[in-house]
Structure 1
Amino acid sequence: MKEKELIRLIKASQLYYEQNMTQAEIAKEMEISRPSVSNLLARARKEGLVTITVKPFESTTFGKAQVLRNYFDLKSCQVVSVGRTKKETEQNISNQVVDTLLSVLPRTRVLGLGWGYNMGQVVGALCQRGIKDKPSATLCPMIGTATIPHKGYHPNELCTDASQKLGIPAEFLISPAFPTTRQEYRLFINTENYANIYTLWKRMDTCMVTLGGYPCVPDHATASRFGRRLVSERAVGNMLSFFFDIHGNAIRGEDDCAIQMPLKQLGRIRNFIGVAPAGGSASAVIGCLNTHVVKHLVIDEGIAGEVVKYLYETEKLGKFDEGGAIL
């Protein structure tokens, strides 16, 4: 191809694709016929000067949300944008979790709070919101308190902040999350306080829980509770310090004395809001979602894409219809 012809192809392509000029406008600019412009654009694509890429459905934000919602049988899936910094992404996630909570709160009788750094951020975002209507719900923690300085691991404090913001009563679980001995464990679960909280757990219909990973930082006393079992059985994620493999199977410890809402009751919660942390592990999210206890998912676009990619690579997904359903 001669240099003059190459320059014509590039110029026509730049005017059309970069400056959004119509073919009629380009014809006038280059003093050629409109069919000649069409021919130049076709030749530019054929010569590789112009490449056109159409994103598949599942690579879009909407597509990722639909794929995850349909595959994991979720009531809702909100995929939020990745910010310029991790902190900005965390704020995007927290704000969306609050939106999801407020959408189901009017129908809630008992609201449960999980724990962790991310749950502390969600409660912080909630406290920044204007609440129009006072809900008629009771609030309670889903796990005891850890000996970790961060406020997110003190569920009673989170419940205090949230109850004051929402204007609803809160009940507190007066116990450690990980008693050091089985005797201490039995002492706490036989108290009137535990019995009252257990009654609320059985009635709980909405909760917010972090979909955490493994290994987890800070550690959840895993050595004393599980020995080497989390490693040998390939744990990838945790919710409320219950640990799961990639298939969603719970890993049991021989001497696990954790004080938390029983696992069998998590699946009965109508509006279980799962929060995937920014910069977290896709395998952790997959393991938690495979338990089928999560009903509403909030996740950033990056991790959502990794989860969808995993489902493709393991041949769990085929093609999709226009609504994101698996064909």
Structure 2
Amino acid sequence: MGSGVVEGGGRTPSHLLYSVAVEYYLQAATQAEIASRLGTSRATVSRMLAEARRRGIVHIDVRPPSAGADADLSEAVADALGLVEVHLYPDVPADAASGVLSSALSGPLAAALATADLGVGDVLLVSSGRMAYAASRAELPALPGVLVVPTVGGQLEPEPWYQTNEIVRAFAAGVRGSPAFLYAPALPGEALHAGLLDDPGMRRVADAWEVARAAVLGVGAPPAQRVSLPRFVPAQSAALDRAVGDLCSRFYDREGRPVDFPGSERLIATPLGVLRRIPVTIAVASGPEKVVSLLAAARAGYFNRLVTDVTTAAMLVAAAS
């Protein structure tokens, strides 16, 4: 067809390589479209593009994400939600191995914890949930002498991310602190609940909630959008229809007001009002399903720092405006 394409071992003219490169890289033409115009095969077009790169006609520049852009986005989220700080990590694929998420959380979570300036004898609360579980396996800063305390019971839950004592054990090992355990289900029966109120171990944990200096908190999505819920939560209860999320298994609505469910008066968990009084509260959450719950909890003052991924951060700014 007189295209000027040299098949086989011949040398393709540079002007033709340039033309093909412009169409493909700058005009978004497909290789099939270019091949049709030239009257040749797609494989030949692919070889021409490779040749254009070898001859220096095409330069491909792969750059790391801009730290400045992330800093601007962090500041925008903090302003939109009224937070002290926001720490971002790159998006992690939903099907990535659990260790990938833990690794991504390491730097931002360490930076957020550093602002708490925790020392010997200070109390650090840690909640349950998938993100808290991943955080407990991240590379954490050394905080020797810090007491790591669970925010909610969970002895009867089979999923590892609801086993609060195991999350606390791993977190304490990561920061080189000391764990305090809560040997109680999140929602005990009436008789057990009455006994737990007088239990010395339970009192020690409840007292620690009141004097905590920092907390690392997973944020739950609206119940209807959850992949899983703790077994004690009555997922079909109409009482939870207003809930947009939870912290420490304490549910709240769009205005951040507590949402009770049958039996929640027996819940062994840090009250939402207590979270407001803790100096450094770090929410660790990501995903489009968490946007509404994060907005409500931030505006209610349940956390004042956030660790999230870049996409969720952008969605939060858009939703807040």
What does the per-residue CA deviation read over 1:79-100, in whole Å, with 9 as the maximum and x for residues that have no partner? 2222456534564235422332
Partner of 2:273: 264
Cα 1:309/1:166, change in 2 over 3 Å: closer
The TM-score with structure 2 as length reference comes to 0.70
Partner of 2:238: 228
Cα 1:267/1:130, change in 2 over 3 Å: closer
Cα 1:282/1:86, change in 2 over 3 Å: farther
Cα 1:163/1:251, change in 2 over 3 Å: same
Partner of 1:111: 124
Partner of 1:157: 166
Helix, strand or coil at the partner of 2:267: coil
CA contact under 8 A between 2:141 and 2:175: conserved in structure 1? no
Q: Does 1:185 align with 2:193?
A: yes
Q: Matched residues in 2 for 1:193 and 1:83: separation?
A: 38
**Amino acid across the alignment from 1:187:** G
CA contact under 8 A between 1:242 and 1:250: conserved in structure 2? yes
Q: Matched residues in 2 for 1:89 and 1:166: separation?
A: 18
Helix, strand or coil at the partner of 2:215: strand
Aligned-CA RMSD value = 2.9
**Amino acid across the alignment from 1:239:** L
Q: Matched residues in 2 for 1:81 and 1:161: separation?
A: 24
Cα 1:152/1:95, change in 2 over 3 Å: farther
- 1:65 aligned to 28, 50, 74, which one? 74
* Paired residue total: 252
Query: How far apart are residue 195 of structure 1 and its match?
Result: 1.1
**Amino acid across the alignment from 1:112:** L
Q: Matched residues in 1 for 2:289 and 2:134: separation?
A: 15
- 2:299 aligned to 277, 286, 290, which one? 290
Helix, strand or coil at the partner of 1:273: strand
Task: Trace 1:121-200 onto structure 2 (pairs within 5 A).
Answer: 121-126=134-139, 129=140, 131=142, 134-179=143-188, 181-200=189-208
- Stretches of structure 2 that go unaligned for 5 or more consecutive residues are 1-18, 27-68
CA contact under 8 A between 1:89 and 1:300: conserved in structure 2? no
- Give the 4+ runs in structure 1 shifted more than 4 A: none
Helix, strand or coil at the partner of 2:88: strand
What does the per-residue CA deviation read over 1:144-165, in whole Å, with 9 as the maximum and x for residues that have no partner? 1153323221111222222233
Question: Structure 1 vs Structure 2: percent identity of aligned residues?
Answer: 19
CA contact under 8 A between 1:211 and 1:274: conserved in structure 2? yes
CA contact under 8 A between 1:89 and 1:278: conserved in structure 2? no
Q: Matched residues in 2 for 1:83 and 1:169: separation?
A: 30
Cα 1:98/1:229, change in 2 over 3 Å: same
Query: How far apart are residue 107 of structure 1 and its match?
Result: 4.6
**Amino acid across the alignment from 2:148:** L
What does the per-residue CA deviation read over 1:188-208, in whole Å, with 9 as the maximum and x for residues that have no partner? 222111111111111101110
- 1:277 aligned to 276, 286, 289, which one? 286
Q: Matched residues in 1 for 2:262 and 2:159: separation?
A: 28
Partner of 2:65: none
Partner of 2:6: none
- Stretches of structure 1 that go unaligned for 5 or more consecutive residues are 1-10, 19-59, 313-327
Query: How far apart are residue 175 of structure 1 and its match?
Result: 0.7
Q: Matched residues in 2 for 1:142 and 1:83: separation?
A: 27
Helix, strand or coil at the partner of 1:267: helix
Query: How far apart are residue 293 of structure 1 and its match?
Result: 1.9
CA contact under 8 A between 1:105 and 1:135: conserved in structure 2? no
Q: Does 1:101 align with 2:109?
A: no
Q: Matched residues in 2 for 1:195 and 1:167: separation?
A: 24
CA contact under 8 A between 1:117 and 1:150: conserved in structure 2? no
Partner of 2:3: none
Partner of 2:50: none
CA contact under 8 A between 1:90 and 1:277: conserved in structure 2? no
CA contact under 8 A between 1:214 and 1:235: conserved in structure 2? yes
- 2:253 aligned to 237, 241, 245, which one? 245
Partner of 2:104: 92
CA contact under 8 A between 1:237 and 1:284: conserved in structure 2? yes
**Amino acid across the alignment from 2:113:** L
